[in-house]
């Protein structure tokens, strides 16, 4: 497994009559091309945690996620590559008897899976719960869900190094808000950053942006969750299939498809005229395995 840290990400132009009519120049930053497993923004969010592990005296790495977590499988792959012991705390116990393809892959990469009920999982950021984990797994480096935290934001900020200088607007999908915070910390004040939440009632993530939104150029869009995290509708699937046919680019239904739908809808409504826009393709295409029968 090779993780090419010097990958020259491709910016793929998106062409359509809608964009031409609004004089919008739109490209996708193809972070999905970085690696078949540790794809998209995942490696960026993980890399300083991996560095911290190597600089410390840790026994392994522990992190959190659900049955279809892109973060967990990226963590498992990164640990496998670096020969690091790793543990995944899994939301919900249903995966014990019926594990998802993602969890099977995590296990095959050497991650030890520990399933806990959803009510307990909600305590994952509470100090009492973390103390319990530290006692159970001493000297393990704990990575918050989705790579949150200062190290995750620091890593996500380096994505900005691949943004062309002439860009007016940067858009990304939002799960934990780590990537959008990283972009805000690095972008010029005259550039606008739009984050499209992939989960229902995502407005609570505004509090994550506050510390990084000093120039008020960060915007959280919460209207394109299509039923909630990991959910999809016939409308979203039709959009994905049409986008692949017209642009020859596969989107993932959990994150990037929702962001692209929202972005193009905004342009359809007359926003972003005469702007140069780059949208992050944050990878996670393994998530489509569960709906491949609905895609063509």
Q: Do the strands 169-174 and 276-281 form a parallel or antiparallel pair, or are they unpaired?
A: parallel
Per residue in 45-58, pLDDT tens?
Answer: 999 999 999 999 89
Instruction: Report whether pLDDT(6) > 90.
Output: no
What gap in Å lies between CA 269 and CA 285, rounded to an integer? 29
The pLDDT, as a whole number, for residue 9 is 65
Quick one: tokens of 34? 């970085």
Per residue in 99-120, pLDDT tens?
Answer: 988 899 999 999 999 999 999 9
Among 1-5, 9-13, 176-180, 292-296, which range has the highest average pLDDT? Answer: 176-180
**DSSP three-state, residue 72:** helix
The pTM is what? 0.92
Tell me if 204 sits within 8 A of 51, measured CB to CB: no
CA 10 to each of CA 32, 34, 126, 276, 285: distance values in angstroms, whole numbers, following the listed order: 10, 10, 40, 16, 17
Mention every residue, 6+ apart, whose C-beta is less than 8 A from residue 55.
none
Per residue in 184-227, pLDDT tens?
Answer: 999 999 999 999 999 999 999 999 999 999 999 999 999 999 99
Q: Which of 29, 22, 276 is nearest to 167 (CA)?
A: 276
Residue with the two structure tokens 């491709």: 10
Residue 76 host element (H or E): helix 70-81
Quick one: tokens of 222? 């919460």
Burial of 7 (0-12, 13-18, 19+ CB in 10 A): middle
What gap in Å lies between CA 210 and CA 14, rounded to an integer? 31
Instruction: Report whether pLDDT(286) > 70.
Output: yes
């Amino acid at each position: 497994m090779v993780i090419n840290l010097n990958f020259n990400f491709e910016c793929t132009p998106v062409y359509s009559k809608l964009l031409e009519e609004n004089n919008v120049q739109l490209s996708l930053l193809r972070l999905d091309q970085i690696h078949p497993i540790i794809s998209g923004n995942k490696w960026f969010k993980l890399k300083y945690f991996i560095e911290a592990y190597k600089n410390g005296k840790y026994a392994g790495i522990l992190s959190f996620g659900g049955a279809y977590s892109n973060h967990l499988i990226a963590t498992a792959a990164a640990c496998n590559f670096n020969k690091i012991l790793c543990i995944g705390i899994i939301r919900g116990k249903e995966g014990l008897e019926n594990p998802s393809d993602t969890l099977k892959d995590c296990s095959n990469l050497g991650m030890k899976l520990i399933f806990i009920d959803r009510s307990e999982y909600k305590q994952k950021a509470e100090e009492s719960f973390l103390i319990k984990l530290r006692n159970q797994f001493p000297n393990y480096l704990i990575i918050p869900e989705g790579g949150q935290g200062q190290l995750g934001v620091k890593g996500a900020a380096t994505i900005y190094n691949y943004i062309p200088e002439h860009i007016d607007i940067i858009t990304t999908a939002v799960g934990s808000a780590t990537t959008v915070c990283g972009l805000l910390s690095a972008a010029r004040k005259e550039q606008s950053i739009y984050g499209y939440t992939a989960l229902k009632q995502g407005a609570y993530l505004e509090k994550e942006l506050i510390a990084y939104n000093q120039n008020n150029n960060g915007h959280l869009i919460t209207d394109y969750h299509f039923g909630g995290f990991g959910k999809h509708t016939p409308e979203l699937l039709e959009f994905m299939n049409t986008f692949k046919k017209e642009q020859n680019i596969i989107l993932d239904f959990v994150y990037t498809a929702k962001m692209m739908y929202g972005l193009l809808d905004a342009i359809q409504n007359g926003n972003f005229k005469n702007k140069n826009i780059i949208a992050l393709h944050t990878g996670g295409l393994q998530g489509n395995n569960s709906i491949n029968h609905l895609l063509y």
